[in-house]
Amino acid sequence: MADRELDVRALRKPDRHPAVFREYDALAVGGTLALVSDHDPWRLREEFEVEHCGSFAWDYLATDQGAWRVQVTKLASTPLPRVLADTNAVSANAIDVLGAVWKLQTRERDLDSNIIALPPGADIGAHAGPDVDVLIHVLAGSGQLATELHVLQLRPGALIWLPRRSRRQFTAGPDGLRYLTVHQRRKALTLTTAPEIPAAAARGD
């Protein structure tokens, strides 16, 4: 018998996966969570592979139409350290690509990370950086980083510190430019409704 059971059929679809992860996170090591769903929750399993690769077991208990049952077992106290990507392979396949060719996907994290690719001669125009410090590691190609006062030459192996809000412009060399970025995860933008202004105040009465 499972330690916990969750029937997601009564939940709104946007609420189902977050509810499952909350229940799973509350399990002790070796604990089991029985899920009941109206369909094969294979997309949920894919999310578990991203979030908890190697640290969970997934077993189908029933595949009845409208009443699928899956047991998820927690094998480790936290997500396991693991290899996320081969940066050599990503760089080799990104010569003529512009933009992010890889990014950190895990849901629960403190960091953001991307691999950015610029084709030969492409640039990221001069701009002020975000309100977080950014660490950059050049993986392949070459290029230049123009700062507020000077220009840095970018070569594979270079490790660059970009202080928050500093001015920067990237220009790729003849072989393109690929680099890894790591920085603190920024909070999602929360939109709020402005308080209503009384009509008298709006008129300046």
User: What's residue 35's pLDDT?
Assistant: 97
Domain with CATH 3.30.110.40 in the chain: 4-74
Instruction: Say what the pTM is.
Output: 0.76
pLDDT for 187 equals 67
Residue range(s) of every CATH 2.60.120.10 domain in the chain: 87-184
CA of residue 10 relative to chain centroid, distance: 29
Mean pLDDT by 10 residues, the chain (205 residues): 93 96 97 97 96 96 95 97 88 72 89 94 94 96 96 97 96 95 76 45 41
CATH number of 87-184: 2.60.120.10
Instruction: From 132, 128, 135, 123, select the one nearest 167 (Cα to Cα).
Output: 128
Per-residue pLDDT tens for 129-139? 999 999 999 99
* Sign of the CA dihedral with 128 first, then 133, 139, and 144 last: positive
- Both tokens assigned to 125: 């125009």
Using DSSP, state whether 2 is helix, strand or coil.
Answer: coil
CATH number of the domain at 4-74, out of 1.10.10.2840, 3.30.110.40, 1.10.8.870, 3.40.50.970?
3.30.110.40
DSSP percent split of the chain into helix, strand, coil, nearest 5: 20, 40, 40
